A and B are shown apart, each in its own frame.
Chain A
């Protein structure tokens, strides 16, 4: 699903975010990206969904060389990647239903299909009863679930979650992780960048540790490495 070869990223300020990083993620995998703040996790996520372009090296996502994808074809990549953010990025003036439907409206999905898909996405995250609510009327955990519903409503083969539990209490964090696992069981490849040691240690999934822009550890059923953070 994702092939990263010798990727480096140097920001215009001179900060080296990633240095010669190699990583392969297979279809259907569930991967945790861990490491201290500033290690390069978020940069790696941004490179995968082409919010940033690598300074050198190659990133291939679903057979597409993302680094060399022209801007005008970016939409085709983005439609195949769902992204979940720490700050949810919901539209405050729109209802929960509209927020989730937004992702389908921009690609011209038919009304009946849109209704069906939004309902099933909201069912999956357990928020069907909140369709008409506005984001500010929901708790942080519920807003994160809306963000998750929006990310998967288009059934993308790849789901990226950047610190999805960063603002949530442990119990709510578990809830989000359970949902991500459920989505992964449906065949979606899931990559989660996180600081949450408790979650990582308990899930026993593949854990990739990044420090100072380099991949320092890649464990098949790993834990949050000692010495990091």
Chain B
């Protein structure tokens, strides 16, 4: 019990030291937090954009149906049954050639009676809906191999394009964020280096009076974590602002665009960003402390 209390008091001391270091050079601390927030905002922005595009692909994909045109001699119900038995198929509906012919004529709104002029040229058609739009190309391939299937059609290009853009956005986001984080790491490292230099005497005395090496490192790690966390908080504000003002307006302008990401989604991304920010902050501190504290020369 006494040992837990002692640890707690040491923890309090570490927190006090970290706080003192942050407030001592307020201007510098703000600079680091803002740099961190810029990097995290760009990461978060790309992240949400990629999520939106994925959700767009999903939404477009769920509307994409495979139209299966059957040969004239193929039994439509049996083929429909075979497709229903495939994995990933949500629904199959039959449009008979007669019904299609009537629909076409209705669409033409013509006074002419086609049946009197030509035979019905349309095939029996099956409309297939998928449970998961990502599997559309695979299923389409399987269906096209069934006997009795003349031809199939689906929005292959559109789906592929959206998925391609989402993938590219994710990659671009990662590359830009990677570059920015290298910069952020350097800024944090430099700030902690200055903090180590500012506190050289404290560190020396802590070493002399018997503080362990880890104990001396902790306030700096905590300081780095704080920069990451504060940066993530600012980022949260930026992302929610973006969601509230920009995306909502966009949605108003283009109501057909299914921008799905909810506030919960933004919150989830913000949570990840906080974790990433704190890790980057702690890592920057750790590298700097290891480099500038020279434990050998205590």
Question: Which A residues have a C-beta under 8 Å from some C-beta of B?
Answer: 49, 51, 71-72, 74-80, 83, 89, 91, 102-103, 105-111, 150, 154
Interface pairs (25), CB distance under 8 Å: A51-B298, A71-B295, A72-B212, A75-B212, A75-B213, A78-B210, A79-B209, A79-B210, A83-B208, A89-B201, A89-B204, A91-B205, A102-B205, A102-B209, A103-B209, A103-B210, A106-B10, A106-B215, A107-B10, A107-B209, A107-B210, A107-B211, A108-B13, A110-B6, A110-B9
Whether a CB of chain A sits under 8 angstroms from the CB of B135 is no
A150 touching B9, Cβ below 8 Å: no
Residues of B within 8 A of A51 (CB): 297-298
CA distance A77 to B26 in the complex (A): 37
Residues of B within 8 A of A75 (CB): 210-213, 215
Please give the distance in Å from B13's CB to the nearest CB on chain A: 5
CB neighbors of A among B163-216 (8 A): 201-202, 204-215
Indicate which residue in B7, B295, B296 contacts A108 across the interface (CB closer than 8 Å). B7
Whether a CB of chain A sits under 8 angstroms from the CB of B109 is no
Whether a CB of chain A sits under 8 angstroms from the CB of B5 is yes
CB neighbors of A among B202-245 (8 A): 202, 204-215
B213 touching A106, Cβ below 8 Å: no
CA distance A80 to B209 in the complex (A): 9
Secondary structure class of chain B's binding surface, majority of residues: helix
Residues of B within 8 A of A91 (CB): 201-202, 205
CA distance A108 to B4 in the complex (A): 10
CB neighbors of A among B56-113 (8 A): none
Residues of B within 8 A of A108 (CB): 5-10, 13
In the complex, the chain A residue whose C-beta lies closest to that of B214 is: A72
Residues of A within 8 A of B214 (CB): 72
B298 touching A74, Cβ below 8 Å: yes
Known A-B contacts A71-B295, A91-B201, A91-B202; A49 and B13 likewise in contact (beta carbons under 8 Å): no
Known A-B contacts A71-B295, A89-B201, A91-B202; A78 and B10 likewise in contact (beta carbons under 8 Å): no
Residues of A within 8 A of B5 (CB): 108, 110
Residues of A within 8 A of B201 (CB): 89, 91
B205 touching A78, Cβ below 8 Å: no
CA distance A76 to B209 in the complex (A): 10
Known A-B contacts A106-B13, A108-B10, A110-B5; A78 and B207 likewise in contact (beta carbons under 8 Å): yes
B211 touching A106, Cβ below 8 Å: yes
Please give the distance in Å from B290's CB to the nearest CB on chain A: 13
Residues of B within 8 A of A71 (CB): 213, 295-296
Contact with A along B8-24 (1 / 0, CB 8 A): 11100100000000000
Residues of A within 8 A of B13 (CB): 105-106, 108
A106 touching B210, Cβ below 8 Å: yes
Q: Which of B205, B209, B210 has the most CB atoms of chain A within a 10 A radius of its CB?
A: B209
